[in-house]
Structure 1
Amino acid sequence: MLFYVQMKWNHEGRITLDELWDVEAQETAHAKETIDSGMVVGIWKVAAQKRVIAVVDCADAEELDRTALGRLPMREYLDFEVVWPLRDYRGFAEDVNAHYRV
């Protein structure tokens, strides 16, 4: 299942900037692993903002939750602003053409 995930860094007053870069370095290595594995379809750093967006492919919401709260190196310093499950548009189009009748 695909999810759109929007995260904002929340580190001010919690860790130093140097400590943030150390944790973020761990996060970038983790991101590369998840991209290589196919779990992360795409990930982007929003320019001039402390915000990252990603499209991730997880089996279900439970697996996304385990990853977000348990596996991410930055988990203590990320606020998950938006998490949207994404539906494939072709399946939606089929339902529209059938007028949502099975």
Structure 2
Amino acid sequence: MLFYVQMRWNHEGRIPLDELWDVEADEAEHAQETVDSGFCVGIWKVAAQKRVIAIIDSPDAEELDRTALGRLPMREYLEFEAVWPLRDYLGFAEDVKKRYQV
């Protein structure tokens, strides 16, 4: 199942910048692993903002939750602003054509 995930860094007053960069370096390695495994379809840093956007291909919401709250190196410093399940548009279009009738 695909999810749109929008996160904001929430670190001000919580961790010195030097330590934040160390944690972010670990997060960058983790991001590469999840992209390589196919769990993360794509991940982007929003220019000039402390914000990251990702498209995640998780088997279910439970696995996404486990990753977000337990596996991310930056989990203590990320605020999840939006997590939206995504539906394939062409599947939606087929339902529209059928007027959602079986």
Other structure's SS at 1:68 match: helix
- Output one character per residue of 1:12-35: Cα deviation in whole Å (capped at 9) or x when no partner: 111000000000000000000000
**Aligned-pair CA distance for 1:90:** 1.2
Q: Aligned-pair distance for 1:53?
A: 0.2
Corresponding residue for residue 97 of structure 1: 97
Runs (4+) of structure 1 exceeding 2 A deviation are none
1:96 match: secondary structure? helix
1:66-89 Cα shifts (integer Å, max 9, x gaps): 000000000000000000000011
2:41 corresponds to 1:41: yes
Counterpart-to-counterpart distance in 2, 1:84 and 1:36: 22
Q: Distance in 1 between matches of 2:92 and 2:22?
A: 43
Opposite residue 59 of structure 1, the aligned amino acid is P
Q: Which residue of 2 aligns with 1:10?
A: 10
Cα distance in 2 between the residues matched to 1:39 and 1:97: 32
Give the match's secondary structure for 1:101. coil
Q: Determine the C-alpha separation between the residues in 2 that align with 1:88 and 1:31.
A: 24
Query: Which TM-score applies when normalising by structure 2?
Result: 0.99
Equivalent residue, structure 1, for 2:87: 87
Residue number in structure 1 paired with 2:59: 59
Correspondence for 1:22: 22
> TM-score if structure 1 supplies the norm length?
0.99
Between the two proteins, the alignment pairs up a number of residues equal to 102
AA aligned to 2:44 is W
- Provide the aligned C-alpha RMSD in A: 0.4
Q: Deviations over 1:25-79 (max 9, x none)?
A: 0000000000000000010000000000000000111110000000000000000
- Give the percent of matched residue pairs that are identical in Structure 1 and Structure 2: 80
Any stretches of 5+ residues in structure 1 without a counterpart? none
Structure 2: 5+ residue runs without aligned partners?
A: none
